[in-house]
Structure 1
Amino acid sequence: MTLSIGEISDRIFGADVPFAVKAYDGSRGGNPDAVVTIDISNERALRYLVTAPGELGLARAYIMGDLIVEGIDPGDPYDFLSLFLDGFAPRRPPVGELAEIATSLGLRSFRVPELPAQESAPQWRRMAEGLRGLRHSRKRDAQAIHHHYDVSNDFYELVLGPSMAYTCSCYPTQDATLEQAQEHKFDLVCKKLGLKPGMRLLDIGCGWGGMVKHAVQHYGVTALGVTLSAEQASWAQQHLKECGLDDRGEVRHGDYRDITEDGFDAVSSIGLTEHIGVKNYPSYFKFNYDRLKVGGRMLNHCITRPDNKAPALTRGGFINRYVFPDGEITGVGTVVSTMQDEGFEIRHAEDLREHYARTTRAWCKNLSANWDECVRDAGEQIARVWGLYLAGSSIGFERNHIQLHQVLGEKVAADGQAAYPLRPDFGV
């Protein structure tokens, strides 16, 4: 007997699931009373699901528009993704059933269809082809950044809002807006660094220059920002000029390793460490240590894992293939210990996990509210990637699958004399 797609779904998932299934062969499965219906609309959708069971196959079919999820907002699929993280898991059918399922699907279903253009090649292929250099080489880092950040500044303005801050914000109150939270985040970093008029700040991985602008405008410093994204650098430098701050604020397009200036009073790194590779932490923190004056402070702000044991690089998953190629994250303990080993005295560490959950939810709502414009600007496939990415990130932070830490270190004099006050002076 040949099984229908709906029957195969029930063999694997059962009928007590939080969704209904309908398929192009006219069959149905799943829970008929569910609010959400997953429509496997064509053969290619089935092939995506069969050849890459799990999140990657689902993402491929959804991004290509072959898997249609009825009853959800494509700009904000938060509720839909939550269904799959509430204790739901497929069952493994007995061997005899597996053979029947495979026969019913047919050989063609096991042939990988064309992949979405937005998907980055797997790690092994990137290495085998030799097209992108060694992981975290300058060339490959630039390509990875280009993959994610050089969409368009218009697209980012629609999603991020006026602040153009693409990092975790810090909500001062429960009812604060996203813009207020981003402003508060930059102010918190400035205070942790002890910035004062006349100081020099280096901001590594500066994005669209939000930290540079805030520090120059509100703390009277001279600031240099650096980013690998040409789109970001161009936008940021023009914005500084429009604000009349380009005499003391500069955003440079390039690799942070090309910065030759030193003698800075402070270094901020907000959302860069995820891109440099854990094995490069020692050289990265030594570089920053060497840029500072004695008594200078470094604030490192990055996504972290809840422990230091899990692999830093998640191979083959949605985030690695569609969002941050070569991205690596580890526990805050690894960040702290490496900073210490490179000479920093650790003065403060703080987890902003809940703040990032709220930040990504706000971005997701912006994407939803501006969906038509985002699709016109970037195309529907990229917009769908962003919906999955932001909604999934919100859930990850909420459920403590990922965290966000700020770690503050100081370059102490050789005799142990420190410039740090007896108690923190940044009001937390």
Structure 2
Amino acid sequence: MSVHPFRQRILQLLHDADVRPEGDRTGGRAPWDPRVHDEHFYNRILAQGSLGLGESYMDGWWDVDDLDGMLLRLLGHGADRKVHGLGEVWDALRARVSNLQTEHRAFEVGERHYDLGNDLYRAMLGQRLVYSCGYWREADNLDDAQAAKLDLVCRKLGLRPGMRVLDIGCGWGEALKFAAERYGIAGVGVTVSREQAEYARDLCAGLPIDIRLQDYRELVRANTGGGFDRIFSLGMFEHVGVRNYATYFDVARRCFSEDAPDGGLFLLHTIGGNLSTAITDPWIARYIFPNSMLPSPKQLTTALEGRFVIEDWHNFGTDYDRTLQAWRANVEAHWPDLPERYDERFRRMWRFYLAGAMASFRARRIQLWQLVLSPNGVAGGYIAPR
């Protein structure tokens, strides 16, 4: 089939977003104008939507100097909502009739994303392997921003020596290590990534920290829950899925000690979307985070009703754009030092992932929330540190 019937339609959509593949603007090509190398680009976008856009970039069908600038303009114009591939329709139907985040599927994201290689994440994430948004209020570099975020979490929870803390989705163990060394706590961390678990155990050796390779649901079923004074979860909730939110919060509530100070506090740190959905972007689902989805405020509050009191809701989503820019600078500087398995197609995939996330936060399409929750409400009220 000729690509020409589709070319004009996609060109018009791009032009409406101030993106001009042909460079036909006064003053020459803008940094966010793509250079198309394969004319099949146009019908691929029309047939596959965002999946086709990302895959065609991975395949080298087009290049652009300012990738996040281009994606920002497309998102700002709502182009992603105007072209939908058949795969996206199928994903939406599948999410309606099945639970994409069952315990059986829980370890898939660990195997496909978090187990890619600690060498990649060490190159990208900086001094601490913290794969969540930094707090840039008083920081001017990534390492300080991540330390500030970890300290903010500890201060919001009012951590004190001797407290027992649960980290749901502990990653490489950096948050528990920070809390143990700075605030004198003992802790348990759970993760679905073997690479993360092994690294975290080595990182936290000698500290009163137990790292477990298990799904969060196993915390109570295996009788390993209970007895915690505080809980935090940093960047894991995006993998839970709306069908499991009630179970997730039930598990968290059951993990508190009966005599926890203030009745217990739970800090939930998550990316969130402005609109309710049950699926993620199809390109993200295929290449980055399988079975993921971002919660909306409505979905969160519905699940929290009758389970937790919302003591504080803090949005610092614009800090994620800056965090992602720092991650991109780090990984771009280290590509030559990384193993050959991170080939050119992988690098283009990773660039598209980071740039797309930057654009989404910059366009305010997605947010970064920290919620402080209590099972029964803090007597006299809760005062949130900033």
TM-score bracket for this pair, using the shorter chain length: 0.7 to 0.9
> For 2:73 and 2:301, how far apart are their aligned partners in 1?
36
| Maintained 8 Å contact 1:154/1:377 | no
1:62-120, Cα deviation, whole Å (9 max, x unpaired): 1122x131545xxxx22332343454969x9xxxxxxxxxxxxxxxxxxx9xxxxxx99
Given that 1:203 and 1:226 are in contact with CA atoms closer than 8 Å, whether structure 2 keeps it comes out as yes
Give 2:177's match in structure 1, choosing from 203, 213, 226: 213
Q: Which residue of 2 aligns with 1:163?
A: 128
Contact 2:75 2:360 in 1 (8 A): no
In the TM superposition, what are the counterparts of 1:131-150 in structure 2 within 5 Å?
134-150=99-115
Confirm or deny: 8 A CA contact 2:238 2:270 kept in the other structure: yes
- Who is 1:313 aligned against? 279
Residue 218 of structure 2 corresponds to which residue in structure 1?
A: 258
**Does the 8 A contact of 1:304 with 1:329 survive in 2?**
yes
Q: Find the residue that maps to 1:151 and give its secondary structure.
A: coil
For the 8 Å contact 2:312–2:372, the answer to whether it is kept is: yes
The answer to whether structure 1 residue 288 and structure 2 residue 252 are counterparts is: yes
What is the match of residue 317 of structure 2?
353
Pairing of 1:24-423 with structure 2 (within 5 A): 30-31=24-25, 33-36=28-31, 38-42=34-38, 48-49=44-45, 51-52=47-48, 54-65=49-60, 67-72=61-66, 77-85=67-75, 87=77, 123=91, 134-173=99-138, 175-241=139-205, 244-245=206-207, 248-259=208-219, 260-294=224-258, 295-307=263-275, 310-314=276-280, 317-342=282-307, 344-374=308-338, 376-412=340-376, 422-423=381-382
**What displacement does 1:262 show?**
1.2
TM-score by length of 2: 0.84
**Are the counterparts in 2 of residues 169 and 355 from structure 1 also a CA contact under 8 Å?**
yes
- State the AA in 2 paired with 1:69: D
Q: 1:80 to 1:387 in 2, by over 3 A?
A: same
CA distance in 1, matches of 2:378, 2:235: 26
Q: CA offsets, 1:140-183, max 9 Å, x none?
A: 1211332221111000111111211001121132x521111111
Q: Distance in 1 between matches of 2:148 and 2:337?
A: 29
Alignment root-mean-square deviation, CA: 3.3
Give the counterpart letter for 2:20 in structure 1: F
Q: Deviations over 1:8-29 (max 9, x none)?
A: 74565259654344xxxxxxx7
Give the total of aligned pairs.
Answer: 367
CA separation of 1:347 and 1:48: change in aligned 2, threshold 3 A: same
Structure 1: tracts of 5 or more residues without a match? 22-28, 93-111, 113-118, 128-132, 413-417
Matched, 1:427 2:379: no
Q: Deviations over 1:254-279 (max 9, x none)?
A: 21222223110011111111111112
Separation in 2, partners of 1:150, 1:387: 18
TM-score by length of 1: 0.76
**In the alignment, is the contact (CA less than 8 A) between 1:205 and 1:228 conserved in 2?**
yes
Alpha-carbon distance in 2 for matches of 1:402, 1:298 = 22
Residues 13, 89 of structure 1: 8 Å contact kept = no
Write the distance in 1 (CA, Å) between the matches of 2:162 and 2:190: 20
Question: 1 CA distance for matches of 2:199 and 2:251?
Answer: 27
Instruction: Please say if residues 375 and 383 of structure 1, whose CA atoms lie closer than 8 Å, have aligned partners that are also in contact.
Output: no
Give the letter for the 1:213 counterpart: K
CA distance in 2, matches of 1:86, 1:46: 20
Aligned equivalents of 1:380 and 1:323: distance in 2?
16
* Structure 2 residue runs without a partner (length 5+): none
